[in-house]
Amino acid sequence: MDPLLRYARHKQPDIIAMTREFVECESPSDDPVSVNRFVELVAASLDGVAYIRTHPGDEPGKRGKFGKHLRCEVTLPGGKTQGQVLALGHSDTVWPLGTLRTMPFRNARGRLWGPGVLDMKAGLVFFIFATRALRELDIPVRRRVVLQVNSDEEVGSSSSRPLTEAARRKSVAVLVLEPGTGLEGKLKTARKGVGDYTITVRGRAAHAGIDFANGASAILEMSRQIEKIATITRLDRGITVSPGVIRGGTRSNVVAAECTAEIDVRIPRDSDRKYLERKFGSLRPFDKRCTIEVAGGVNRPPLERSAGVRKLFGTARKLAAELGITLEESSTGGGSDGNFTAAQGIATLDGLGAVGEGAHALNESILVNRIADRTALLAKLIAAL
Ligand SMILES: [Zn+2]
* SS3 of 69-122: EEEEEECCCCCCCCCEEEEEEECCECCCCCHHHHCCCEEECCEEECCCHHHHHH
Contact 149, 91 (CB under 8 A): yes
Ligand 1 mean position, distance from CA 37 (Å): 19
Each residue's pLDDT expressed in tens, for the chain with a length of 385 residues: 999 999 999 999 999 999 999 999 999 999 999 999 999 999 999 999 999 999 999 988 899 999 999 999 999 999 777 899 999 999 999 999 999 999 999 999 999 999 999 999 999 999 999 999 999 999 999 999 999 999 999 999 999 999 999 999 999 999 999 999 999 999 999 999 999 999 999 999 999 999 999 999 999 999 999 999 999 999 999 999 999 999 999 999 999 999 999 999 999 999 999 999 999 999 999 999 999 999 999 999 999 999 999 999 999 999 999 999 999 999 999 999 999 999 888 999 999 999 999 999 999 999 999 999 999 999 999 999 9
380 CA distance to ligand 1 centroid (A)? 22
First-to-last alpha carbon distance for the chain, in angstroms, is: 22
Q: Do you know the residue count of the chain?
A: 385
d(CA 220, CA 223): 5
- CA–centroid distance, 129 to ligand 1, in Å, is 19
Strands (E), the chain: 50-59, 62-74, 84-90, 106-108, 111-113, 144-150, 171-176, 187-191, 193-202, 206-207, 240-248, 254-255, 258-267, 291-300, 329-332, 348-349, 356-357, 365-367
Q: Give the Å distance between the CA of 178 and the centre of ligand 1.
A: 5
Tell how far the Cα of 151 is from the centroid of ligand 1, in angstroms: 11
190 alpha carbon, distance to own chain's centre? 13
Residue 82 alpha carbon to ligand 1 centre in Å: 29
180 alpha carbon – ligand 1 mean position (Å): 10
Distance 224 CA to ligand 1 centre (A): 36
**What is the C-alpha separation between 241 and 260, in angstroms, rounded?**
16
For ligand 1, the distance from its centroid to the CA atom of residue 285, given in whole angstroms, is 39
Q: Ligand 1 centre from 164 Cα, in Å? A: 15
Centroid of ligand 1 to alpha carbon of 90 (angstroms):
7
Determine the distance separating the centroid of ligand 1 and the alpha carbon of 95, expressed in angstroms.
12
What per-residue confidence (pLDDT) applies to 365?
A: 98
What pLDDT, on the 0 to 100 scale, is given for residue 121? 98
- Whole-number Å distance, alpha carbon 349 to ligand 1 midpoint, is 14
Give the count of alpha carbons within 13 A of 301, CB side only.
Answer: 14
Q: What is the pLDDT of residue 344?
A: 82
Neighbouring C-beta atoms of residue 79, cutoff 10 Å = 7
CA of 326 to the centre of ligand 1 (A): 24
How many angstroms separate the alpha carbon of residue 158 from the centre of ligand 1? 15
Q: How far is the CA of 266 from the centre of ligand 1 (A)?
A: 17
pTM of the model: 0.91
DSSP letter for each residue of 256-291 = -SEEEEEEEEEESSTTHHHHHHHHHHT---SSTT-E
User: Residue 300 Cα, ligand 1 centroid: separation in angstroms?
Assistant: 14
CA of 338 to the centre of ligand 1 (A): 10
Q: How far apart are CA 326 and CA 132, in angstroms?
A: 25
Residue 90: closest CA among 150, 143, 48, 178: 150
Distance 370 CA to ligand 1 centre (A): 18
381 CA distance to ligand 1 middle (Å): 20
CA of 353 to the centre of ligand 1 (A): 10
Residue 209: other Cβ atoms inside 10 A: 8
Contacts of 342 (CB under 8 A, 6+ apart): 174, 191, 301, 302, 303, 304, 306, 309, 348
Q: From ligand 1's centre to the CA of 290, what distance in Å?
A: 41
Q: How far is the CA of 153 from the centre of ligand 1 (A)?
A: 7
CA of 360 to the centre of ligand 1 (A): 9
